[in-house]
Amino acid sequence: MRLFSTDTPFYKFMSRLLDMLKLNFLWIIFSLPIVTIGASTVAAYAVTLKMVDEAEGYVGKQFLKAFKANLKQGIPLGLLALVCTYSVYLDFEFFNKLPDNPIVFLIIGIVAAFIFYMHFIYAFPLSARYENTLLHTMKNSAKIATRFFLRTLFLTVVLVVEVVFFLFNTTTLFFGILLGPACLILTISGFAMYCFRILEKEGTA
C-alpha cells in the first residue's frame, strides 16, 4: 500500500518518532549514573544534529560511538552544569525560606541563572560537533548566545512551551517521559545548527 511506502510522509514521521523514542531511552539509561549525564547529553546531541541535517544513520550505533568519544569532556561539562543548576536552586530556596525574603538572593539567583544559561545552552551541541577545551566550549556558547540573542530568546520560549506541555497533565507527562528530553535536545539542535552554519561559512566556527 502507498501509505506504508518508505518515501511517504507517514513512513518518515513514524521512522523519526521511533528514532526519537530510541534516543530518549538511551539518554535516560546512560544518564542514570548521574556522573555520565554530560557524556550522554553530548552523545544525544551528536545524533540530533545529524537529524537536523537528515544525515542520521542507526541511532543506537551513533549514540554509543559518540558517548565513548565524549566521556572525557562530557563528564566534567555535565557535572559543572549540575553544580551550577543546583547552586541557582539553593539561592532561590534561600530567598523563599529566609525571613523577609532578602531581595539580594533573588537578584543573585536571576543574574547567575542568566549567566549559566548563556554559557551552557550551546555548550553541549558545540561539544558534539567540535573539538575544544571545556573552557573554550563554554565561552563559545556564551558568544553564540550573545550574537544570536533574539534567536536564543525565541529558543528559550519554545523550550518553556515544550516543558509546560509535557507537564500539563498525566497524559502529556507520560509522553514527556517517553520523548521529552529527546524533543528538547532536538529543538536546541535545530537552533544551534542555524548558528553553526553561519559561523562555519564565515570561518569563525
**Residues 130-144: tens digit of each pLDDT:** 999 999 999 999 999
Please report the pLDDT score of residue 54 as a whole number. Answer: 79
Confidence label for 9 from pLDDT (cuts 50, 70 and 90):
confident
13-33 residue pLDDT tens:
788 889 999 999 999 999 998
| Sole residue written with cell 561539544 | 127
Quick check: 37 pLDDT over 70? yes
33: DSSP letter? T
Distances (CA, A) of 192 to 37, 129, 157, 165: 20, 10, 15, 22
Please state the rounded mean pLDDT for residues 72-86: 95
d(CA 123, CA 117): 10
Could you list the residue range(s) of the whole structural domain that residue 130 is in? 2-202
CA distances from 109 to 113, 134, 142, 143, 152 (A): 6, 24, 18, 21, 20
Q: What is the pLDDT of residue 203?
A: 78
The closest of 181, 202, 205, 199 to 47, measured between CA atoms, is: 181
What is the number of structural domains in the chain?
Answer: 1
Burial of 144 (0-12, 13-18, 19+ CB in 10 A): buried
At residue 6, the pLDDT reads 58
Among 45, 34, 144, smallest CA distance to 81 is for: 34
What would the DSSP string read from start to end of 147-172? HTHHHHHHHHHHHHHHHHHHTSSHHH
- The pLDDT, as a whole number, for residue 2 is 52
SS3 at position 86 = helix
Prediction pTM value? 0.90
Mean pLDDT of 49-75: 89
Report the pLDDT value the prediction gives residue 5, as an integer from 0 to 100. 55
